[in-house]
Amino acid sequence: MKFLLYNIRYGTGKYLIKRFKHIRGYLGRSEKQIDRIGKFIKRQKPDIVGLVEVDLGSFRMKSKNQAEILSEMTDKNFIYQYKYEENSRYMKFPMVRKQGNALLSNKEIVNHKFHYLDNGMKKLIIEIETNGIVIFLVHLALGGKTRMKQFVQLFSLIEKCEKPMIVAGDFNTLWGTEEIELFMKAGKLKSANLEKKPTFPSWSPKKELDFVLHSENIKINDVKVIKTMLSDHLPILIDFDII
């Protein structure tokens, strides 16, 4: 099987002018770029795709849902969820409330759950089960102390899983990859990216923020951090077997 992880930055592309980077990330139009991203995903031929920072229908997409569009383009089943809980103050803002994450799959998604961690602004965990494997898609907080609290709660979710699993996403390990080591050890997880290739920023990668972690009953045959400028993050593609 193949799994692709990609933070697509709402389809707004990589920012070109440093001082405008945040404005561009939130206000840039996405329709043309999401078409390019869909074609890119299709070329990689993944069985499962984890997508972080997906626009679920804001003005950037003229109310179109990127998860649905990418599902149609790649001929996959899909599941998505909004990043913020219904009662969150962030849901009061029209554009922000349309932000989310998504998973695409060749196989039927037989079960799914949405978890919201107790701490942080970025705290959505999407859990799906498909084809004998469980995927946890994460996007963790920017604040280091908050991430530490999130790792504890994330461990409480994955320790209940008895099936082969992948825990993947943008972990925002801005303090360095060392901050993830205790979580991996406790969860008996390994990183697919053994060479620790950086994934951010895409035009001059220096930080390893995106991870594909896996349980011991998954064998990694190949891993690629793909050079592409479609987002400010680089995607990770793994080829694996369940053993």
Q: 220-237 pLDDT, tens per residue?
A: 999 999 999 999 999 999
DSSP 83: S
Give the pLDDT of residue 114: 98
Region 40-47 average pLDDT:
98
Q: What is the pTM of this model?
A: 0.94
Give the Cβ contact number of residue 176 at 10 Å: 11
| Selected residue with higher pLDDT from 224 and 27 | 224
Question: Binning pLDDT at 50, 70 and 90, where does residue 95 land?
Answer: confident
The secondary structure of 143-207, three-state, reads CHHHHHHHHHHHHHHHCCCCCCEEEEEECCCCCCHHHHHHHHHHHCEEECCCCCCCCECCCCCCE
Region 7-29 average pLDDT:
66
Angle (CA) 177-181-183 rounded to 5° is 120
Give the pLDDT of residue 236: 98
Cα(196)–Cα(85) distance, integer angstroms: 33
Region 52-64 average pLDDT:
94
Would you say how long the chain is, in residues? 243
Question: Binning pLDDT at 50, 70 and 90, where does residue 17 land?
Answer: very low
Q: How far apart are the first and last CA of the chain?
A: 12
Query: Is the four-CA dihedral 17, 18, 23, 24 of positive or negative sign?
Result: positive
DSSP 66: H
- CATH code linked to domain 2-242: 3.60.10.10
- pLDDT score of 16 more than 70: no
From the list 99, 41, 50, the residue with the least C-alpha distance to 72 is 41
Cα–Cα distances (Å) from 226 to 10, 46, 64, 92, in that order, read 19, 13, 27, 36
Give the pLDDT of residue 131: 81
From the list 48, 97, 52, the residue with the least C-alpha distance to 74 is 48
Cα(239)–Cα(196) distance, integer angstroms: 17
- pLDDT score of 86 more than 70: yes
Region 62-84 average pLDDT:
96
Domain ranges for the chain, please list them: 2-242
- pLDDT score of 211 more than 50: yes
- Asked if 107 and 2 count as a contact pair (C-beta separation under 8 A), the reply is no
- pLDDT score of 165 more than 50: yes
Q: Which residues pair with 80 in a beta bridge?
A: 102
Region 56-76 average pLDDT:
96
